[in-house]
Amino acid sequence: MFEVAERLRNIKVSASAAMTRKVRELRAQGVKIVGLSSGEPDFPTPPHAIEAAHKAALAGETKYPPQDGIKPLKEAIQRKFQRDNDLGYALEEIMVSNGSKQIMYDALMASVNPGDEVIIPAPGWISYADQATLAGARPVPVSCPENNHFKLRAVDLAAAITPKTKWVVLNFPNNPTGAVCSRAEMREIADVLLAHAHVFVMADDVYEHLTYDGFGFCTVAEVEPRLKERTLTVNGASKAYAMTGWRVGFAGGPRPMIAAMTNMQGQIGSGISTISQAAAVVALNGPQDLLKERAADYQKRRDEVVGLLRQAKGLTCHKPEGAFYVFPNMAGCIGKTTPGGAKIATDTDFVTALLEEKHVATVQGAAYGMSPYFRISYATDTASLREGCKRIQEFCAELK
């Protein structure tokens, strides 16, 4: 009889992935679901990237690739880091992976030992803590409350660092809150990190091109160059270029770290699809105007969604500065009952009943380490967003 390994005993399927799967199942049954749970751009992949992939396939670029990425893509990533982040990396300091998620897994598996600690601002992306646990480390959440706009306070970070701390994860713009870290705020965080030379920094910058209202993006190794030699700067093609299914993530970091990560990746899946890499080369090297155009579209969606959610009885909604998520507080709905008889005691109860009774898919805040909230992705068409928010308004109004 099959038994699950101990390392997987405390690892649950991602709540957002589970909700996305549930949505697919219900849609297959003919239920009309408004899906606001998936962090996946609804824009198409740029045509020039698709054309490049097609040409690469026809040209026979279909053999095993180097484990750390093909040279043209690493050169494109090198230019991207210099162009967008003022960071200079040698090719040996860059690697490519199956999405930024595998980059981070490679890094943790290549570096942590039992007893090490990984500091994760909360709320934060679901996989940070699970990956740390799988690697044998202990995830250490640091609360980033709404009264600080869901941002990491330097004083809280300083209090969380111990001699066992191996990594600190930074994710701005943030999933699930959309919080953006200003240069001054990042400077304060960098000053804390400078005082702890044993700590490595994982900068997950995958939403870097999605900032609004004049908020600029900055990454920690750019703000404090002295941290560059212990910072892994993580990014990818998925969010910016709407290439989620192509699975192209990349990172720049210290040469010994990248070498160890490449070795780790060689034991998992080796190099990534040559066709995907060809598409990513052209996306990174090609016209970048679409990034600002799409960010402007997302900002309009954000404004409309926040406005509609603020009209929902029992909800409050902070306006985020980036990414494509809002993270409403549903505390005003706790203790109430739905027309279908469901008792709302937690944010998980809320999103479950919302799906079952109004057919709107969202994700509970508990999955990201903070209640009583829930996450909505506005990376979908405006008609669906309006319909979803209308159903949420109705759901909240009907609670007794």
**Residue 172 is assigned to a structural domain of this protein:** yes
Q: Which residues contact 240 (CB under 8 A, 6 or more apart)?
A: 206, 208, 209, 210, 291
Whether residues 312 and 273 share a domain: the answer is: no
Whether residues 304 and 254 share a domain: the answer is: no
What does the pLDDT look like over 245-271, one tens digit per residue? 999 999 999 999 999 999 999 999 899
Half-sphere exposure of 72 (CA within 13 A, CB side): 16
Question: Residue 190 corresponds to which tokens in the numbers above?
Answer: 């960098």
What does the pLDDT look like over 51-84, one tens digit per residue? 999 999 999 999 999 999 999 999 999 999 999 9
Backbone torsions φ then ψ of 321, nearest 5 degrees: -100, -10
Whether residues 192 and 266 share a domain: the answer is: yes
Q: pLDDT above 90 covers what percent of the chain? A: 92
| Of 231, 262, 285, the domain-final residue | 285
Whether residues 327 and 250 share a domain: the answer is: no
Whether residues 11 and 88 share a domain: the answer is: no
More confident residue, 327 or 24: 327
| Cα dihedral 337→342→343→348 (10° resolution) | -120
Mean pLDDT value across the chain: 96
- Pairing type for strands 249-252 and 94-97 reads antiparallel
Give me the pLDDT at residue 51, please.
Answer: 98
CA 160 to chain centre: 22
Question: If we measure between CA atoms, which residue out of 173, 171, 170, 240 comes closest to residue 211?
Answer: 173
CA 220 to chain centre: 17
Residue entry with tokens 């981070």: 104
Give me the pLDDT at residue 22, please.
Answer: 83
Q: Predicted confidence band at 10 (pLDDT cuts at 50, 70, 90)?
A: confident
CB 144 within 8 A of CB 122: yes
**CA-to-CA distance for 175 and 150, rounded, in angstroms?**
11
**Residue 82 is assigned to a structural domain of this protein:** yes
The residues facing 67 across adjacent strands are none
Give me the pLDDT at residue 299, please.
Answer: 98
| Of 265, 285, 305, the domain-final residue | 285
- Domains: count for the chain: 2
Provide the sign of the torsion angle of the four alpha carbons 299, 235, 105, 72, taken in this order. positive
**Residue 356 is assigned to a structural domain of this protein:** yes
Compute the average pLDDT of residues 26-40.
91
Q: Which domain holds residue 320?
A: 6-44+290-397
**Residue 51 is assigned to a structural domain of this protein:** no
Q: Which residues contact 61 (CB under 8 A, 6 or more apart)?
A: 274, 275, 278
Contacts of range 85-92, beta carbons closer than 8 Å, 24 or more positions apart: 85/205, 85/208, 85/219, 85/221, 85/222, 85/233, 86/222, 87/219, 87/221, 87/222, 87/228, 87/233, 87/252, 89/252, 89/253, 90/255, 92/255, 92/258, 92/259
Whether residues 280 and 308 share a domain: the answer is: no
